[in-house]
Structure 1
Amino acid sequence: YYDAGDNVKFGLPMAFTVTMMSWSIVEYGRQMAASGELGHAMDAVKWGTDYLLKAHPSPNVFYGEVGDGNTDHYCWQRPEDMTTPRQAYKIDPNNPESDLAGESAAAMAAASIVFHRYNPSYARKLLAHAQQLFGFADKYRGKYDSSITVAQKYYRSISGYADELLWAAAWLYKATDSEYYLSYLGRNGVALGGTGWAMTEFGWDVKYAGVQTLVAKILMGGKASHHAPVFQGYQQKAEFFMCSCLGKGTRNVRKTPGGLIFRQRWNNMQFVTSASFLLTVYSDYLTTARRNLNYASGSVSPSQILSLAKSQVDYILGDNPRAMRYMVG
């Protein structure tokens, strides 16, 4: 996938997009099938994972960017007519990038779950690459924009790589049910910030709220084993995020006068959609666990959490003070 309106392939946000598309199918594939959209959604995921597989030619080599934003942005043209340089930038043991490799591992692990039933051989291939990339990311640690410096102006990794390592481990556990990845989450929850970072955003750079949500599901599903005390720390931070969106926390997200979650002036909808997704899945997890979301002075039901998520999606689709749709295409 090209980025935005240009012809650069930026690996980190692209891989995150594939992870999130896969997660949506994992959670709501049945509803997509009922509306006739599951095949389209899976095609969209496979378009991304086919590229990720090609970008990973050997266990410790991964190509994280194709094209250069500085030169590309001087010339607006169709991809079919592009004349800008197509230099490819790779990571390897001498140029480590744990955040990029970790996110790409998460994307392929999540996608392997999507294709497990419909294309088992492809799913196994994705999972093998995901496990290799995770091993590479964990062994050769580093921040990707320190190696692919041309990405710094466009997709600088502010949060570092610790969140992506946990994020990848969570998806690999979900894909394999392996004790190794469960233990990784337990052993590294404190050191890598999974139990420490209380977030009010979730997006292509900062994955903590996402991994905390996944681990909370493991805990509520009774699969935490002896890691339960650590996983409770993850869940507390997941619920901090939910409460902040609901306006029930100690540090709440800002909202516009019309009620839209507001993170920043530029491309704010990415944070609205990602937060809405986490709110939706967490409301489902709470419903399955038959519990409410507790905060300092009360509690919120799963249906109330879902109502907030729905209000954000409705706002994007036109239920807002300007009666304007923000979704195009």
Structure 2
Amino acid sequence: MAFSITMLAWSLLEFGQSLGTDLQHSLKAIQWGTDYLLKATSVPGFVFAQVGDPYGDHNCWERPEDMDTPRTPYAVSKEFPGSEVSAEIAAALAASSMVFRPINRGYSARLLKRARMVNGDKYRGSYNDSLGPWACPFYCDYSGYQDELVWGAAWLLRATKAPYYRNYVLANIQNLDKSSSFAEFGWDTKHAGINLIKSQTPEPFITNADKFVCSVLPESPTISVSYSPGGLLIKPGGSNLQHATALSFLLLVYSRPLSKDSRVIHCGNVVATPARLIQVARSQVDYILGSNPLNMSYMVGYGEKFPERIHHRGSSLPSITQHPQHIDCTGGATYFYTNNPNPNLLTGAVVGGPDIKDSYGDSRADFAHSEPTTYINAPLVGLLAYFKSH
């Protein structure tokens, strides 16, 4: 959730002027998240990272209104640190404080004050070690916590301009993995995002930001991602559209300073112009919305053909209006295994997407491809805002 809020806020900071009447909806979505994060950090010395046992919750298929699994809260603290989740919350609150600053200075100040308090650096350690028995394997951190610490500090620097955070980023960027992680960006790994936020700063940020671009462009000799025959960016693992939206967002964001400085990127003998970055980002958005071999939109409710059997409890189970009786933990199995379309449209949700051969089975059980997530949608907000006006 924290990463999703960071990306929604970044979307508005970059492209909010293009949202028009949808701006208010985006602000409401961000505040829903930041209000929760404020509650999760309201007890001094604790950051509540998770509510509920993931094993119990995953084993049940029931409506939110019927949930009867334990709502056990899990927190990180001085004794049981969790720098990843604390620093990502700090990033979300700092970025959101900038969004609300022109319209609600009091709320903005509250967000920024809390971001400074929970940045995760004072008590360093991975929440894998503190909460691993409950968080893993579903929500493990696989890239370490150093990237989140720098990511959180980078957003605090952007929000405050305080020299302390600038010095912190420059001192701690050396702690990040020196391998190909410059090309990684998502809810777990922040390297490429850090380099783009800091791309107006001297080395190593500009070099790494350029290397990121060269790792994504289809024609680059140093490409590190794959593309399906239909043109979709592919990386290993499930929920692939998270990569298509997040990396496309970064390409679009980076095209702006490149254009301003009249600069191009050299990927070996390939020259990448700002317009080419925008073109690649646009191709991914178009693919998601239906310009693909299946002529299928991967956004629920958009277009004539879209996923109808998404891996989502509230969407797949009958509404309280239609079925007021309680549906218990195992009672939803019938609805899970049916081949019938979901009765409730989760309009706007983007699923994990097709495989590397552009195939999509539209199976509720195939969660790696049919599950929608907030971290797929969040970067798409900025992309759609831009392309709406361009």
SS in 2 for 1:314: helix
1:296 Cα deviation after fit: 1.9
1:190 Cα deviation after fit: 1.3
Aligned residue in 2 for 1:144: 127
Aligned residue in 2 for 1:288: 260
In the alignment, structure 1 segments of 5+ residues that lack a partner are 1-13, 220-227
Aligned residue in 2 for 1:7: none
- Please give the per-residue CA displacement for 1:62-114, whole angstroms capped at 9, x wherever unaligned: 10000111001221112121100000000100000111100000000000001
Does 2:217 correspond to 1:243? no
Does 2:116 correspond to 1:170? no
Kindly indicate whether the alpha-carbon contact (under 8 Å) linking 2:83 and 2:124 is maintained by their aligned counterparts in 1.
yes
Which residue, 215, 222, 246 being the options, matches 1:274? Answer: 246
1:151 maps to a residue whose letter is A
Runs of 4+ that moved beyond 4 A = none
SS in 1 for 2:175: coil
C-alpha root-mean-square deviation of aligned residues, in Å?
A: 1.4
Aligned residue in 1 for 2:87: 102
Normalised by the size of structure 2, how large is the TM-score? Answer: 0.74
Kindly indicate whether the alpha-carbon contact (under 8 Å) linking 1:249 and 1:295 is maintained by their aligned counterparts in 2.
yes
2:272 maps to a residue whose letter is V
Distance, in Å, in 1 between the alignment partners of 2:78 and 2:180 is 28
1:170 maps to a residue whose letter is A
Kindly indicate whether the alpha-carbon contact (under 8 Å) linking 2:81 and 2:125 is maintained by their aligned counterparts in 1.
yes
Distance, in Å, in 2 between the alignment partners of 1:145 and 1:46 is 28
2:234 maps to a residue whose letter is F
Distance, in Å, in 2 between the alignment partners of 1:100 and 1:198 is 19
SS in 2 for 1:57: coil
1:191 maps to a residue whose letter is N
Kindly indicate whether the alpha-carbon contact (under 8 Å) linking 2:216 and 2:223 is maintained by their aligned counterparts in 1.
no
2:175 maps to a residue whose letter is A
2:191 maps to a residue whose letter is Y
Aligned residue in 2 for 1:309: 281
Kindly indicate whether the alpha-carbon contact (under 8 Å) linking 2:183 and 2:191 is maintained by their aligned counterparts in 1.
no
Note closer, same or farther for the CA distance 1:238–1:70 as it changes in structure 2 (3 Å cut).
same
Higher relative contact order by CA 8 Å / sep ≥ 6: 1 or 2? 2
Note closer, same or farther for the CA distance 1:282–1:63 as it changes in structure 2 (3 Å cut).
same
Which residue, 110, 119, 137 being the options, matches 1:153? Answer: 137
Q: Report percent identity of matched pairs.
A: 43
Does 2:5 correspond to 1:22? no
Aligned residue in 1 for 2:296: 324
Does 2:104 correspond to 1:119? yes
Which residue, 167, 173, 183 being the options, matches 1:183? Answer: 167
In the alignment, structure 2 segments of 5+ residues that lack a partner are 301-346, 348-390
- Select between 16-25 and 72-81 the one with higher mean Cα deviation: 72-81
1:251 Cα deviation after fit: 4.2
- Select between 73-82 and 96-105 the one with higher mean Cα deviation: 73-82
Aligned residue in 1 for 2:383: none
Kindly indicate whether the alpha-carbon contact (under 8 Å) linking 2:217 and 2:223 is maintained by their aligned counterparts in 1.
no
Kindly indicate whether the alpha-carbon contact (under 8 Å) linking 1:91 and 1:147 is maintained by their aligned counterparts in 2.
yes
Note closer, same or farther for the CA distance 1:161–1:197 as it changes in structure 2 (3 Å cut).
farther
- Please give the per-residue CA displacement for 1:177-207, whole angstroms capped at 9, x wherever unaligned: 11111111112221334x7654333110011
Kindly indicate whether the alpha-carbon contact (under 8 Å) linking 1:199 and 1:241 is maintained by their aligned counterparts in 2.
yes
Highest Rg: 1 or 2?
2
- Please give the per-residue CA displacement for 1:6-50, whole angstroms capped at 9, x wherever unaligned: xxxxxxxx1000000000000011001x3x110000100000000
Considering fraction of residues, name the structure with more helix.
1
Does 2:14 correspond to 1:31? no
